[in-house]
Structure formats: C-alpha cells, structure tokens
Structure 1
Amino acid sequence: MGGNMQQLMRQAQKMQKQMQADQEKLNASTFTGKAPDDMVTVTATGTHQLTDLVINPAAIDPDDPDMLSDMILAAVNDAMTQIDKTTESTMGKYGRGLGM
C-alpha cells in the first residue's frame, strides 16, 4: 500500500505544479474588452488589473457624459467577463478532477 501512496503523492505534486503554471500563464495573459462599435477599448491582465484604456474621440460628447461612462463600463465588464470565463475553463478542471 505504501507504493500506491507514493504514486498518489507524486501525481498530486505534478498536478499542483501544472496548476501553478496554468495560473501564472493566466495571470500574464491580456484580455481586451470593447464597448459597442469599439468606441471604448480596455486591456486587462488575468489578475483583473486594467493596463490600457482607449477612448475613440467620437465617443466624447460634452453634452452626454453618461454615454461615455456607460461605454467605459461596458468595455471593462466585457474584459472582466472574458477573464472569468478563461479562469473557469483553465482552472476549473482542477476542481472537477477532485470531485468538487
């Protein structure tokens, strides 16, 4: 029975290393979120940190600042949704493999 336990421990260590590598890769990835018509574009890392924000000058209407706010929120939410979906598909496999 000791040999089976050692093999199980090796498999667990291998899975832990792979999980860590996948998390590091995910954290280093970039995601681009866009508002409708690409009026606002944001770039974020896998750790949910915004790294860039581009606003199309046509989106800036001094008479309607709420529209610009809505477009920024749409772009940020799009990026965050992409990060969450990618995280689930990348990291979720480890929980499923453990019966979670």
Structure 2
Amino acid sequence: MAKGGFPGMGGMNMNNLMKQAQKMQKQMQEKQEELAERTLEMTSGGGAVKVVITGKKEIKELKLNPDVVDPDDVEMLEDLIMSAVNEAIRQVEEMYNNEMGRMSGGMGMGF
C-alpha cells in the first residue's frame, strides 16, 4: 500500500481525498443555491390555473382565468389549484434530484 493511501484508491492520499470531497461539497452547495433561485411554471385545467414556484418551493405567483371562477362550483377551482400546486412541487423535487444526481455521479443522493 502506498504511504497514506488506501487499497484500491490508486495511491490517492487522504489529503487529496478530503480536498476532492470539499470541492464536491462546495459545488453541490452552489448548485443548490442556483436551483433555489430558479422558477418553474405549472398550469392545470388547460391553463385555467397557473402557478409559479421557486426552487425553494415558495409560490411566487398564482393566476386564475376569470372564466374558471364559478361561485356554484368552488370545488372544481380548488381541485385545479391543488393540482397545479402539487405538480409544481413535484417538478421542483424532480429538478433537484436530476441536477444533484448528475453532480453526485448517481450516488443516490435524493433531496
């Protein structure tokens, strides 16, 4: 075994391994910050409800087409809003998992 190395690590010493881990951690933190600033837009009901969400899962905008506002059918509007919001959240999680998965080389780091 090479001095300061580990079997199967090609002679990589602990200092180099730690530097690589710190570099990867910094890159992942930067990527998380970048993703947090992104916005995604989701719609439901053929565009009747639009939701804009950030990577932090904060709703920034909610727009309703006035034609969908029916006082006799509030339940349908509630369903459309829930659908758009839930899809927006799902898309943010998928965005994080895809981007972080690429960075971690598929090491199974879910966010």
Larger radius of gyration: 2
- 2:68 is the counterpart of 1:56: no
Aligned equivalent of 1:96:
106
Aligned equivalent of 1:22:
31
Matching of residues 15-94 of structure 1 within 5 Å = 15-93=24-102, 94=104
Offset at residue 34 of structure 1 (A)? 0.7
**Is there any run of 5+ residues in structure 2 with no aligned partner, and where?**
5-11
The 4+ residue runs of structure 1 with deviation greater than 4 A are none
RMSD of the TM alignment (CA)? 2.1
The residue matched to 1:97 in structure 2 has which SS? coil
Offset at residue 97 of structure 1 (A)? 3.4
Is 2:40–2:54's contact at 8 Å kept on the other side of the alignment? yes
Is 1:33–1:43's contact at 8 Å kept on the other side of the alignment? yes
- Cα distance in 2 for residues equivalent to 1:80 and 1:98: 20
Please give the per-residue CA displacement for 1:8-27, whole angstroms capped at 9, x wherever unaligned. Answer: 11111110111001100111
Q: Structure 2 length normalisation: TM-score? A: 0.81
**Is there any run of 5+ residues in structure 1 with no aligned partner, and where?**
none
Is 1:42–1:75's contact at 8 Å kept on the other side of the alignment? yes
The alignment-based identity, stated in percent, is 42
Q: Structure 1 length normalisation: TM-score? A: 0.89
- Cα distance in 2 for residues equivalent to 1:31 and 1:60: 24
